[in-house]
Structure 1
Amino acid sequence: MKALIIGVDAGCRPVFDDLRETNSIPNISALAAEGLSTELESQIPPWTPSAWPSIYTGSNPGKHGVYGFVTFDGYDWEVSTADHVRARTLWELLDDHGRSSVVVNAPVTYPPADIDGAIVPGFMAPEEPRCHPEGLFEELVDEIGEYRVYPRYSRDDERRSDEEKIDEYRRLARMRGDAFRYLADRFDPDLGFVQFQKTDTVFHEFEGDPEHVRRIYEETDEQIGAILDACDPDCVFLVSDHGIGQYENFEFRVNEFLRDRGFLNVSEGGKGMPSWNPIRNQLRDGDADRSWDPGLAGRLARGVSRVGVDPRALLDRLEHVGMADAVRRHVPDGVVRATSKQVDFEASTAYMRARTELGVRINLEGREPDGVVAREEYEAVRTELMDQLNDVQTPDGKPVFEEVAPRERYFSGPFAEDAVDIVTVPRDFSEFLSAQLLGDQFGPPTEPWNHKLEGVLIAAGDGVAPDAAVNNAHIFDVAPTVMAAMGVPYSDRMDGTVLPMVSDTGTAPYPAVDGTTLP
C-alpha cells in the first residue's frame, strides 16, 4: 500500500489533546510524533456530506456539486448521493494511472464507482448498500460476520441505555477496521481510504460527554493501530473534515428573522424543509429512496390537525388500525413536521433551505420554479438582505455573524448556482444557526456541540518531511498532496495544492465526469 488515508470525522487538536491526557489514543499520538501534525481548515459549509467530497476531489462544492445532506431541485430535494458528486474522486483519478484503491465507509460514495479495487459506501448510503465489485457486501458479511453502515437504533430511542448505544458505536468502529483489513488483504491496493464516523456523532448525540467520547476514540484508535500493523503503508494521512466544539451562545433562527422582515411566508404542514431524522431512519431501514414524503400517517395527522384534533393523541389509535409501520417510521418527527408551519418557498422572497448550508437562497425568477425576484432586482435584494443580516446582534449585544458574504466569495465552478446566494458564517462557530420556525428569533442552541472550522492533518512515512513548514493547510489540499505522495500529477481542476511536506508532482488534465461542462 503506497498511501493510506484515515478519516476521523470531527477530529481536532482540542479533542486529541484531552484524549492524550488519559492515554486514550496511543496510535494517533505515535503517528503525530513520527510525522507532521497541523491544523486543517475546513470549508464553508463544514459539514460531513459536503466536506468529505471536497477532501477526496480536491475541489470546492461549486465544482463537485454537493452542498449538504440533501441536493435541491427547485423547492424539492433528495438525499445527496455519489451521483451528485460531479468532480472525479481521488480513486477515480488514480485508476487512470493503473493504481488500485480500497475505500471503506467514505461518505457520499453510494452508488459506488467502477474502479480497480473495492468500495464499501458509507454515510448517506442505505443499509446493506450495493458495493463494488458486485456481490462484495455479501462476501464481506460472510468473511467478517457482520457489517452495517448505521447503528441499530434511532437517536431518540429511549429503550436503550447510553451504555448500549456506545457499545453499538464501538461495534461499528470494529466493523470498519475488520472490513478494511480484509479488503486490503484481498485486493492489495495502492491506496487505502477508511473513514470513522462515530467520532463525530458521539458529540452530537451525547453533548460531548467526556467518558462517551473517550470510549469511542479508544476503539477508533485501536482499529487504526490494527490497520497500520496489518497493512504497513508507505505513508499515512490522518484527516478530519472539520473540528468539533461547544456552542456556548445562542441559536439564531434565520427563517424567523426573514419572516419578521417580510422576506418569507409560511404555510401549514407539508414536506417543508429537509429534516435529517426521517431520512436517517429510511437509510437505516435499507430504503434507497432519495426523498422523504410525509406519508399516509403524516397526511392524516395534517388533516385532523386542521379540525382541531391533536395528532399526537391519535398515535396509539393509528397503531391499532394497521398503521404501526407508518407510525414508527415517521412519528414523532413526521407528524410534527406534517402539522407544523413550514416555509412557503414559492411565496417567499428569500429563505434558508437547510441550516447546514450556512446561508440564504433568493427565490429568483427564471432559476426557481416560481421565482418572485426579477433578475434585474437580484443584486439590490441581495445587498439589502446582506446589510440587514450583518446588523443582527444577539440578545447580549454581540454580532451573530463573523461574515455575511456573496456566494462568489466561497464557491466557483459549474455548480455554483446551486449554492445559497448569501453565505452566513456564524461568529467563531459559537452561534447555532437554525432554519426552523419556532416563534422567536433566538433561543438556546438545539445542539450544544457542533462543528468548528479547524480540523487536523497528520502525515507520516516515506516521502513525508516531518519538519516541513506547513501553514494554512486546507481540506482542498488533501487530494493533490496524496496524489503527489504517490508520484502522480494531480488534476488541474482541483482547488487545492500540494502541501510542502511532500514533493510536488505538478498538475495534469484529466477527463471530466460524464455530462458536465467544466471551465
Structure 2
Amino acid sequence: MQPYKLLVIGMDGATFDLILPWASENRLPHLASLIRKGTSAFLRSTVPPMTPPAWASFFTGKNPGKHGVFDFIELKPGSYDFRFTNGGSVQAKSLWRLLSEAQKKVGILNVPMTYPPERVNGYLISGLDAPDEKSSFTYPPDLYKTLREAIGDYQIDIRHLGNMRGDRERDLTLQAFQEIEERRGAAARFLMEKYPADLTVVVFNATDQVQHHFWHYMDPQHPQHDPVGAKKYGQAIFNIYRQVDEQIGNLLQTLPEDTLVFVVSDHGAGATSNLGLYLNHYLHQIGLLNFENKSLSKSWLHQSAEKVDTLLRSTLSSKQKARLARLFPRLRTKLESWAAAPLDWASTRAYVNEAYIFSPSIWINLKGRRPQGVVEPGKEYEALIQFLIEKLYQLKDPDTGQQVIKKVYRKEEIYHGRYMDQAPDLILSWWEENSFTVKTSQVERIGLPVLERDTSPIVGGRDLSGAHRLHGILIMSGGPIKQGLTLSEAQIIDVAPTILYLMGRPIPEDFDGRVLTEAMEEAFTREHPPKYQQDKESQGERSDTGYSEEDMEKIRERLQGIGYLD
C-alpha cells in the first residue's frame, strides 16, 4: 500500500445543521466541494460533548476512561479543589507521537489539549490550553520566533471575550475572530510550505466561540431571540463559517497531489435553553446536600471571596489578576471549588461543582475518595445512584410538563479504562434540544422552586446563547474515499485509526475507535485490510500541568470569557 499524506482541518463546534443548508446554496463553496467529492458523517462526540475530552479522543482513538480527560477541569486527588486540564493530563499516546515513532513527519497547529507541546518528528504549536504566546507553546521552542518573522503577529485565541456588553465590543470581537483566523490560515500555509509533513492538522476556534455568543441573533426560534440585534448580527455566525471556508480553500491550493483531506469538529452546536435548574438546591430538597448554616447569612469570608472574584473577572491585566489571586489564594479556591453557597461536606452525599456549571455532572461524596466522604462504596453507593437517577428523571418542565433531563448516564455506561475513578459519577444530558441550563446556588433561593424560566434578554459577554450538541462533523475526501456518500454512523474515536490506516500504519489494539472502511472503495480495502499491533507503551504517565498561578489565571480568564466558568 502506498501511504497517503493527510491534511486534517478542525472546525471547533462546527455543525452540519448550518453547513449543509449553506453548502447547498453554494455559500460555502470549498466545504460544499469536499462534501460532494467525498464521504461525510454526523460525528458522535464524547459524553459530554466538550472540547477537552473530544479532541483528546480525536487524537488518541480512545474513550476518556483510557486517556483520562473528562472536561476542562479535574478534581485534585484527596480534595474538593480542582485544576484545569491540558495536554499533560492526556494519558494515552497521541496520533502524532505514534507517527513520529514511525519516522513520519507531522505538523500540528492549534489543536486543543496539546500544551505543553510534545517533542514530535516535525512541529507542534499548542492550542487553547496554552496560557499565552509568552509561554513555551511551540516545538521546536524557537518556532514561534520563526513564525512571527514570516507572518507577523500570531495569536492563540481571542482575549477578553467576556467584555461584550455593547455593540462596539461585539464589533471588535467579531473583527478579532476574523483577524485571528486569517492569521491562523497564513501560519498553516507558511508551515506547510516550509516544513512539509505526512500529516498536517490545523484547528480553527472561532466557529465555536461565535456560536456561543451570537446564536440568539441568528436563530428566530431561540427562546431569547433578539430581533433588533439580529438586523446587525444575524449573519455573524455565517460570516465566520464563510471565512473559515475561505481559509480551507487557501489551504487546498497549497496541497501536494494525492493528499487526502479530512474536516472534523469536536462537537456540534445549537441554542441554549432558558430553563434554569438550580441543581444543588434540588439535591438539597431531596435530602442529599446541605449548605453550611453560616451561609444563610453570608459569611465575611464568602463576601470577601466574592469581592476578590469580581476583581479577578474585571479588565485588570492577567499579571495583576494573578498577583491578586496569590494574595487571596484560599478565598479564591474556596469560592471556585465549592458552591456559591458553601456546602456542609459532613452531611452532603452528592453535589455539583458549581465553579464549572456549563457541563454539569454529579459527584458522590465517597469515603476514601474525598476528605470528608460520607457514602460507603458498594451497596450504599449503588442505592444512592439509583435513587438519584429516579429523582432526576422526575424533574418536569413547569410550562410543558415534559421531562427536563432526557438522559442520566452512569459513568460505567459511557467510559471504560484505568482512569474511571476520575470521572464524575453521573453525567446529565444537558446538550439535548429543549433541555436545561444549570444555575449557581443562591442563598436567598433556598426553599424556592428549583426550576425557573429566564425571559430576560441575553447579556453580552456573560450569558451564552449557543450550546454544544452531541454530533459534530466529519468530511473525508480524496484517494480511495467514496464520493457523495453519507455514513450512517461514525464516532470521534474513529478518526485516529482511520488516519493511521490510510497512512499505511497499524492500529494499536487498545484503540476504542475503528477504521471507517465503509467510506472507502471496496477494492482498496480488500487489497489493503487494516493491520493491528500491540503497543505496550500506549498508556502515558500523568505529568504536571505546568501551569503557574499566572498561567492558571489566564486559562481561567479565557474559559470565563467563552462562558464555561461561572
Fold shared per TM-score above 0.5: yes
Q: Is the 8 A contact 2:53 2:71 kept in 1?
A: yes
Distance change (3 Å), C-alpha of 1:206 and 1:139? same
Distance change (3 Å), C-alpha of 1:118 and 1:402? same
Please list every run of 5 or more consecutive structure 2 residues that lacks an aligned counterpart in the other structure. 218-233, 326-330, 455-462, 543-566
What residue is the counterpart of 1:259 in the other structure? Answer: 284
| Structure 1 position 401 matched with structure 2 position 405 | yes
What residue is the counterpart of 1:369 in the other structure? Answer: 371
Distance change (3 Å), C-alpha of 1:342 and 1:117? farther
Deviations 1:373-402, CA, capped at 9 Å, x for gaps: 112411111111111112221112111122
- 1:411 aligned to 401, 410, 415, which one? 415
Moved over 4 A (4+): 267-270, 301-304, 309-312, 326-330, 333-340, 343-347
| Structure 1 position 325 matched with structure 2 position 320 | yes
Give the distance between the partners of 2:84 and 2:206, measured in 1 at CA: 20
Q: Is the 8 A contact 2:155 2:180 kept in 1?
A: yes
Deviations 1:490-510, CA, capped at 9 Å, x for gaps: 121111101122435232122
Q: Is the 8 A contact 1:101 1:118 kept in 2?
A: yes
- 1:98 aligned to 75, 95, 103, which one? 103
What residue is the counterpart of 1:124 in the other structure? Answer: 129
Deviations 1:26-78, CA, capped at 9 Å, x for gaps: 11111111111221111211011111111111111101111111121131111
Distance change (3 Å), C-alpha of 1:343 and 1:231? farther
Q: Is the 8 A contact 1:254 1:433 kept in 2?
A: no
Give the distance between the partners of 1:444 and 1:329, measured in 2 at CA: 36
Give the distance between the partners of 2:431 and 2:48, measured in 1 at CA: 14
Deviations 1:417-472, CA, capped at 9 Å, x for gaps: 11111222248343134262143522347533201112111110012122567321
Distance change (3 Å), C-alpha of 1:470 and 1:10? same
| Structure 1 position 420 matched with structure 2 position 424 | yes
What residue is the counterpart of 1:501 in the other structure? Answer: 519
- 1:513 aligned to 539, 545, 548, which one? 539
What residue is the counterpart of 2:228 in the other structure? Answer: none
Q: Is the 8 A contact 1:63 1:87 kept in 2?
A: yes
Q: Is the 8 A contact 1:42 1:51 kept in 2?
A: yes
Q: Is the 8 A contact 1:268 1:340 kept in 2?
A: no
- 2:210 aligned to 202, 209, 233, which one? 202
Deviations 1:318-369, CA, capped at 9 Å, x for gaps: 999xx99349988xx9799589424455652111224355431101101222
What residue is the counterpart of 2:16 in the other structure? Answer: 13
Distance change (3 Å), C-alpha of 1:413 and 1:385? same
Q: Is the 8 A contact 2:11 2:263 kept in 1?
A: yes
155-164 or 143-152, larger mean C-alpha shift: 155-164
Deviations 1:59-98, CA, capped at 9 Å, x for gaps: 1110111111112113111111111000111111111211
Between the two proteins, what is the percent identity of the paired residues? 30
What is the SS of the residue equivalent to 1:155? helix
- 1:76 alignment partner AA: D
Give 1:14 shift: 1.1
Q: How does 1:104-503 map to 2 (within 5 A)?
A: 104-128=109-133, 129-130=135-136, 131-158=138-165, 160-209=168-217, 210-232=234-256, 234-248=259-273, 250-267=275-292, 303=301, 305=303, 311=307, 325-326=320-321, 340-344=340-344, 347-353=347-353, 354-376=356-378, 377-395=380-398, 396-426=400-430, 428-434=432-438, 436-438=440-442, 439=445, 440-444=449-453, 447-466=464-483, 470-499=487-516, 500-502=518-520, 503=525
Distance change (3 Å), C-alpha of 1:345 and 1:466? farther
Give the distance between the partners of 2:342 and 2:31, measured in 1 at CA: 45
Give the distance between the partners of 1:469 and 1:311, measured in 2 at CA: 53
Q: Is the 8 A contact 1:207 1:448 kept in 2?
A: yes
Q: How does 1:14-33 map to 2 (within 5 A)?
A: 14-20=17-23, 23-33=26-36
438-447 or 335-344, larger mean C-alpha shift: 335-344
Q: Is the 8 A contact 2:127 2:156 kept in 1?
A: yes
Distance change (3 Å), C-alpha of 1:336 and 1:409? closer
- 1:150 alignment partner AA: D
Give 1:17 shift: 2.9
Give 1:118 shift: 0.7
Q: Is the 8 A contact 1:75 1:345 kept in 2?
A: no
Give 1:302 shift: 5.2
Structure 1-normalised TM-score? 0.84
Give 1:19 shift: 2.8
Deviations 1:473-496, CA, capped at 9 Å, x for gaps: 111111111111111111211111
Give the distance between the partners of 2:372 and 2:71, measured in 1 at CA: 23
186-195 or 239-248, larger mean C-alpha shift: 239-248
Structure 2-normalised TM-score? 0.77
Give 1:247 shift: 3.1
What is the SS of the residue equivalent to 1:236? strand
- 1:409 alignment partner AA: E
- 1:94 alignment partner AA: L
- 1:515 alignment partner AA: E
Q: Is the 8 A contact 2:213 2:465 kept in 1?
A: no
Deviations 1:115-141, CA, capped at 9 Å, x for gaps: 101111111211114211111112211
Alpha-carbon RMSD: 3.3
Q: Is the 8 A contact 1:5 1:194 kept in 2?
A: yes
Deviations 1:180-213, CA, capped at 9 Å, x for gaps: 1111122211001000111011011223533110
Distance change (3 Å), C-alpha of 1:362 and 1:211? same
Please list every run of 5 or more consecutive structure 1 residues that lacks an aligned counterpart in the other structure. 271-300
Distance change (3 Å), C-alpha of 1:311 and 1:418? closer
- 1:8 alignment partner AA: M
116-125 or 71-80, larger mean C-alpha shift: 71-80
Distance change (3 Å), C-alpha of 1:9 and 1:348? same
What residue is the counterpart of 1:285 in the other structure? Answer: none
What is the SS of the residue equivalent to 1:98? coil
- 1:405 alignment partner AA: Y
Distance change (3 Å), C-alpha of 1:140 and 1:455? same
Q: Is the 8 A contact 2:12 2:266 kept in 1?
A: yes
Q: Is the 8 A contact 1:88 1:513 kept in 2?
A: yes
